[in-house]
Amino acid sequence: GAGVSQSPSNKVTEKGKDVELRCDPISGHTALYWYRQSLGQGLEFLIYFQGNSAPDKSGLPSDRFSAERTGGSVSTLTIQRTQQEDSAVYLCASSIRYRGGTEAFFGQGTRLTVV
C-alpha cells in the first residue's frame, strides 16, 4: 500500500482478554516503531525494530506487552490480560534506514478501549 496501515482501527475488549494489533509498514522500510498515546497526551515509545538487529524493547511498560515483526515486514503488538489503563491509541510508524535522513511515516492508529 501507499502508506502505513494499521488494523483494526478501533478495538473494544473486555478487561483480562488478550488483543493483537497489526501494522503493515511501507514496503521496503526497514525500521518500524510502536507508540502509545493516551487522550490529550504525548507519544509514549514502546518498541523499535530495525532490520535484523535485536529490537529495542526499552519502552514496553510491562511483560504483558510484546511485539514481533515477521519477515522484516508486518508487525503485531500483543497485549495480554488487558487492563483499563491500556486504553489508548496505538500508533505504528515506519522509515528507511538511510544515512541522509528520512522521516518516519505514521499509520492512523488503533484506538483500544478496555471495558
Partner 1 sequence: GESVGLHLPTLSVQEGDNSIINCAYSNSASDYFIWYKQESGKGPQFIIDIRSNMDKRQGQRVTVLLNKTVKHLSLQIAATQPGDSAVYFCAERGGSNYKLTFGKGTLLTVNP
Nearest approach, Cβ of 12 to partner 1 (angstroms)? 17
What distance in Å separates the CA atoms of residue 18 and residue 36, rounded to the nearest whole number? 17
Residues of span 69-98 touching partner 1 by CB under 8 A: 91, 93, 95, 97-98
Q: How many residues bind partner 1 (CB under 8 A)?
A: 29
Stretch that binds partner 1, among 14-22, 63-71, 74-82, 103-111 (CB under 8 A): 103-111
Cβ closer to partner 1: 1 or 42? Answer: 42
Does residue 1 bind partner 1 (CB under 8 A)?
A: no
Report, in Å, the least distance between residue 56 CB and partner 1.
6
Nearer to partner 1 by C-beta: 60 or 93?
93
Q: Which of 7, 2, 11 is nearest to 75 (CA)?
A: 7
* Measured distance CA(42)–CA(76) in Å, rounded: 22
Do 57 and 47 touch, CB atoms closer than 8 A? yes
Q: How far apart are CA 43 and CA 41, in angstroms?
A: 7
